[in-house]
A and B are shown apart, each in its own frame.
Chain A
Amino acid sequence: MQDELKHILSDKKEAISREQLLQYLNGEMEPAEKHDFEQKIIDDPFEADALEGLDELQDKKRIELIVDDLNRSLRKKTAKKVNSRKRLQLKTPWTLYFSAILLLILIALIFIFLHRQLNS
Chain B
Amino acid sequence: MEKEVFCILRFNNFNRVSKDRYHDISDKELLQRFRQTEDSEWLGALLERYTLLLFGVCMKYLKEENDARDCVQQIFLKVIQEAGRYEINYFKSWLYMVAKNQCLTILRDRKGKTPVALTDLNAPLADSDNSPQPLSDEVTSELLEAALKELNSEQYNCVTLFYLKKNTYQQVSEITGYPLLKVKSHIQNGKRNLRISIQKKLAQNATRDAG
Binding site for B on A (CB under 8 A): 1-2, 4-11, 13, 17-21, 23, 30-35, 38-39, 42-54, 56-57, 62-63, 66-67, 69-71, 73-75, 77-79, 81-82
Contact = CB atoms under 8 A, between A and B. Distances in A.
Contacts, number: 161
B164 A4 contact: yes
Interface in B63-122: 63, 65, 68-69, 72-73, 76-77, 80, 92-93, 95-96
Contacts of A54: 52, 55-56, 59
Q: Mostly helix, strand, loop or mixed at chain B's interface?
A: helix
A46 B50 CA distance: 10
B56 A38 contact: no
Given A9-B135, A34-B168, A45-B126, A75 B44 contact: yes
B134 interface: yes
Given A73-B73, A77-B77, A78-B80, A9 B139 contact: yes
Interface string B49-60: 001111111111
**Range of interface residues on B (Cβ < 8 Å):** 35 or more
B187 A56 contact: no
10 contacts: A2-B141, A5-B164, A11-B131, A30-B5, A32-B166, A42-B187, A48-B184, A51-B56, A52-B56, A77-B76
Given A5-B148, A66-B65, A73-B73, A17 B13 contact: yes
Contacts of A43: 131, 191
A74 B47 contact: yes
B100 to A, nearest CB: 8
Nearest to B168: A34
Given A8-B144, A33-B5, A82 B40 contact: yes
A19 B15 contact: yes
